[in-house]
Amino acid sequence: MKYFIIITFVFFGFCPFTSGQDSTQQSDSIKSYNLEEVEIISTKYETTIKDVPLPVEISDEEEIFSISSFTPSDILNKEAGLATTRDGVWGTFASIRGLNRNNIVALIDGCRIETANDIAAGLSLIEVNDIKKIEVLKNASSSLYGSGALGGVLNIITEKGFYNDAFKLNISSISSYGSVNNNGAGTLSLNLGSKKWFINLRGTLRSADNTETPEGILKNSQFRNKNYSFFGGYKFSEQHEIKINYQNYLAEDVGIPGNSLFTPNAEVKYLSAERNLASIEYDFKNPFKYFVKLHTKIFYQEIDRVVENKPNVVTYSNNNSQRISVLRIDPYGNHKTLGGLIQSDWLFDNHFIIAGFDIWQRKLLTERERKVLIEFIDTTSQTVTNTVNKVFGEKPIPDSRYFSLGFYAQDEIAIIKDKLKFILGGRIDRIEIESEEVYNPIYEITNGAINYNPPGKKLYWSDEKADDISWSGNFSFLYSLFDDVDATFTASRSFRSPSLEERFQYIDQSGFVRIGNPDLEPEKGYFFDTGLRIWKENFSFTGNVFINFLDDLVSEVPGTFEGRPALVKTNIGKARLYGYDFSFKYAFIKNYSLSGILSYVNGEDIETNSYLPQIPPLNGRLIFSFMPVNYLRFSLGGTFFADQNKTAPMELKTPGYTVYDFQVVTTPIDLGFVKLQAAGGVDNITNKSYRNHLSAYRGLILVEPARNYYIKLKIDL
């Protein structure tokens, strides 16, 4: 059945919207076809895709505008080797070749997003309308980014503003609406630029109701958010530039439809989830011969999460004479990250060298209140004779600190000019972990009277200190077989030190208990990737085959805690992931094109001879695009996922599916004093009921959104 779906899919040529490197033959005002000149910066220096031997995916501004998306993850699932995992409509993250969350370094404008990892919402704290481009490095990148880049790097780049020879003022807005959840959003931006300075101010309001699915309303999936940002730059001279960035994102009333953390009837939502980011960076270009650039940056990011959980749990004790109702559980988490880097770039005859160090520290503060009503019942008359209100104060995770200091260097060597280049890089990191001791419950309030030494108080976590020193390395080459054909190879050694949550977690939401392990070992791995790329005028192709060997992957295994079922963090030994991802674009007639992707990954626990969890099944996309007139582009497509039967113990199997989509986008229409651009389309045209394997891993998101009509309008003054 799987292969019949693939053959049928290819024969009819139906596919999804656009891949990150979609390059249909169209006018320059929409998008240039030749993508080899697209610039990227996630390699820690400015270069082009064609000059990078690494597997890279790009989602650009035009693509982001033309598709419907609630979060950055909704954009990324259009790319080869990438998939979306969700714990709701708002709470999402991305999977890169079968690795996700903790194994991926997520960046916003080059600043780490360090936050809770049990709910897939790390990327949801970024407004989609602020994004200019998303760059994804699909291979292990610890030699550049340190711990956490085991599975790759995801860098979200926001709108920045512009310099201009003469003073210029630009006002723009983006308005959008999606029918599947009444998702309405409006963004207003103000840009001022001159030869010496620029300022960019942006603000967005967004609101969404519960999401419709083909099987009914997905309750408690609503959300609303607002954000504003400031970005400014000043050039003291052609050599010296300083840039300042501030971002505030606030989501409120965000429903979490449910997962295995909670009881089946629980009503859980974020009362608020807020991200504040401030950064300042300085560039000194061409200090002297061979020294082409000095780059420094300091950033501070704080993320606050306030959760409300109504478990709707009632139990009886003492021969039904006591009725105990857990009314609410209110967790709170505060995540503070302070970091900086200094990097120098050097250019010699046939060597381009970058060298520097980065340093960052994350502090985590958590607390939780559990509110319980105890009713004493007369078993004869079944009447309530007395009530007691109790509040238990707890710490789910100790106050803790994660500190990282890394030194890195990389040399790009042109062996044969425009023919063969090698890249050699290495890094050494020191990581320190500290946590304070925790007694739970911290306090108990009985009918308003507080007791800081309640009965049953005991030590849950002793104060801990741990040090990790690890090294990373990478070797890659790029060989031009012909002017428009090249081959690539990459080998790297990467690592990840376990997070604070994995080491010290104690989550009890009246469902499963989840327990951390302070004795976890760092994850380590060796990664290999080889690729072939073709850059023709009307045809391009990128294909990569990879295999990764990992040791001491952190996972959860069933266990017990205080006599209750629990999931306990542990190192699972040795694992292997292997697969491929391909993408192509072909302009077969002027203004008509076909593009597509195909991705596959398999993950295995070698020691237990079982499959790894959260591995996306074989999937592919095609898209047929055409421009009947120069200012209008239509795209008809769909996506298929094969069934996933290679599942980990206790993981749900998922059937395969195919869905179809349609979009239309205009070029910017110049009316003299104003420019207009519009986009619209239909997602899930046939209103297909289907399940995303990654979203079904932990819980109740068993059906994806229904048919969705959307429209967008951009106005530039």
Domains and CATH numbers, the chain: 2-716 (2.40.170.20)
Beta bridge partners, 584, equal: 541, 596
Percent of the chain at pLDDT > 90 equals 61
**In the block, residue with structure tokens 């999804």:** 16
pLDDT digits (tens, 9 = 90+) for 558-594: 777 777 777 788 887 889 999 999 999 999 888 899 9
**In the block, residue with structure tokens 């200019």:** 132
Give the span between the Cα atoms of 411 and 413, in whole angstroms.
6
Give the span between the Cα atoms of 191 and 601, in whole angstroms.
43
pLDDT at residue 446, rounded to an integer = 94
Residue 503, classed as helix, strand or coil, is: helix
User: 346, 293 in Cβ contact below 8 A?
Assistant: no
pLDDT band at 321 (very low <50, low <70, confident <90, very high): confident
pLDDT band at 42 (very low <50, low <70, confident <90, very high): confident
What is this structure's pTM? 0.89
Give the span between the Cα atoms of 389 and 326, in whole angstroms.
10
The segment with the largest mean pLDDT, out of 46-55, 110-119, 122-131, 479-488, is 479-488
Percent of the chain at pLDDT > 70 equals 92
Q: Kindly give, in sequence order, each residue whose CB lies less than 8 Å from that of residue 570, ignoring residues fewer than 6 positions away.
A: 517, 520, 554, 555, 556, 557
Q: How far is CA 491 from CA 80, 96, 292, 372, 577, in A?
A: 20, 17, 28, 55, 14
Residue 535, classed as helix, strand or coil, is: strand
**In the block, residue with structure tokens 């302009």:** 587
pLDDT band at 355 (very low <50, low <70, confident <90, very high): very high
User: 378, 385 in Cβ contact below 8 A?
Assistant: yes
Q: Give the residue-averaged pLDDT of 176-202.
A: 96
Give the span between the Cα atoms of 56 and 47, in whole angstroms.
12
Q: Over 70: is that where the pLDDT of 118 sits?
A: no
* Token code pair at residue 410: 């990389």
Q: Where are the beta strands (DSSP E) in 138-290?
A: 153-158, 168-178, 183-193, 197-208, 211-213, 216-218, 223-235, 240-256, 267-288
Give the span between the Cα atoms of 68 and 264, in whole angstroms.
31
Q: Kindly give, in sequence order, each residue whose CB lies less than 8 Å from that of residue 289, ignoring residues fewer than 6 positions away.
A: none
pLDDT at residue 370, rounded to an integer = 92
As to burial, measured by CB atoms within 10 angstroms (0-12 exposed, 13-18 middle, 19+ buried), residue 475 is middle
Give the span between the Cα atoms of 183 and 694, in whole angstroms.
24
Give the span between the Cα atoms of 108 and 234, in whole angstroms.
21
User: Nearest to residue 423, comparing CAs of 372, 476, 472?
Assistant: 476
Concatenate the DSSP letters of all residues of 332-359 into one string: EEEEEEEEEEEEEEEE-SSEEEEEEEEE
pLDDT digits (tens, 9 = 90+) for 528-548: 999 999 999 899 999 999 999
Q: Kindly give, in sequence order, each residue whose CB lies less than 8 Å from that of residue 482, ignoring residues fewer than 6 positions away.
A: none
Per the model's pLDDT, the better-predicted residue between 27 and 470 turns out to be: 470
pLDDT digits (tens, 9 = 90+) for 2-33: 333 333 333 333 333 333 333 333 333 334 34
Report the chain's mean pLDDT, rounded to a whole number.
88
* Token code pair at residue 653: 């199997």
Beta bridge partners, 358, equal: 341, 406
User: Nearest to residue 131, comparing CAs of 208, 197, 227, 55?
Assistant: 227
pLDDT at residue 562, rounded to an integer = 72
Q: Give the residue-averaged pLDDT of 25-48.
A: 64
* Token code pair at residue 379: 């078993």
* Token code pair at residue 305: 């999460």
Cβ atoms within 10 Å, residue 659: 20
Instruction: Tell me the pairing of strands 513-515 and 554-561.
Output: unpaired
